[in-house]
Amino acid sequence: MREEDLEIAIKVVIVGNGAVGKSSMIQRYCKGTFTKDYKKTIGVDFLERQIECEGEDVRLMLWDTAGQEEFDAITKAYYRGAQACVLAFSTTDRDSFDAIHSWELKVEDECGEIPTVLVQNKIDLMDQSVVDPEEADLLSRALGCRLLRTSVKEDVNVNTVFRHLASRCLAELRHQEEEYDIASNGIHPLTISAFGPMQHNQKSNHTNGTIVLRSGKLKTRKKKNVFRNACRIL
């Protein structure tokens, strides 16, 4: 199978308090639709979209998780294996802003440190804002991630959120490939993974032309923004 026939699949989790616009965000991005009627997500919801990013075919698998505490036991299981994260809060909901650190820790507990973007939604309601712009800037710097201000209703910066994450993930994957290229003296095996090269006779579940990037916590030490168990057929 030719390398140009392959696609890369990236799992993205969207987390934050209820009613900040998580479901509306992925509906807008994947279907181009918006509804102002709020409907609480029960557990998790899932949508996906195929894009081209930096010359690669990328399938973004977007997992929308419930923001209510009663669903924590359900939603935490769906964080596992994520390679990227959206931390969302609402311009008009102070509690959702104050909860961002808690959401970031929940994801990190399951996934380690992965490419993340902080999203301030509902900027069409800036006249009702309860979050100072400088506070949001300070939070993004404290988290070490980019801040993007969006309006799902007006379709402002929604595409930018997911394209930014896709670009970050591709950069991580390319960095890993370079490391293995050096380690193997420039000779790539058929498949390379974060735990070492696979032999040609080892089984692979990537024969359908999809490269699924896998994530998981390292037990020995944390390494920022690394795809654990990331596999790519060369």
DSSP 1: -
pLDDT at 22: 93
Count the Cβ atoms, other than its own, within 10 Å of residue 84.
28
**49-58: average pLDDT:** 94
What DSSP assignment string belongs to 196-231?
A: EEEPTTS--S-TTSEEE------SS---TT--TT--
Q: Which residues contact 194 (CB under 8 A, 6 or more apart)?
A: 176, 226, 227, 228, 229, 230
Question: Higher-confidence residue: 44 or 165?
Answer: 165
Question: Higher-confidence residue: 174 or 217?
Answer: 174
**159-183: average pLDDT:** 88
**Quick one: tokens of 66?**
């419930």
Domains and CATH numbers, the chain: 8-175 (3.40.50.300)
Alpha-carbon dihedral sign for residues 90, 96, 98, 103: negative
Q: How far apart are CA 147 and CA 139, in angstroms?
A: 9
- The residue written with tokens 């030719």 in the block is 2
pLDDT at 80: 87
Q: How far apart are CA 79 and CA 222, in angstroms?
A: 17
SS (H, E, C) 93-122: CHHHHHCHHHHHHHHHHHHCCCCEEEEEEC
Residues 34, 152 contacting (CB under 8 angstroms): yes
What DSSP assignment string belongs to 147-183?
A: EEE-BTTTTBSHHHHHHHHHHHHHHHHHHHHHHHHHH
Q: How far apart are CA 91 and CA 209, in angstroms?
A: 41
pLDDT at 41: 58
**151-160: average pLDDT:** 98
229 confidence band (pLDDT: 50, 70, 90): very low
**12-44, pLDDT tens digit by residue?**
999 999 899 999 999 999 999 998 766 655 557
**174-213, pLDDT tens digit by residue?**
888 887 667 666 544 433 333 333 343 444 444 344 455 5
DSSP 37: S
The span from the first CA to the last CA of the chain, in angstroms, equals 9
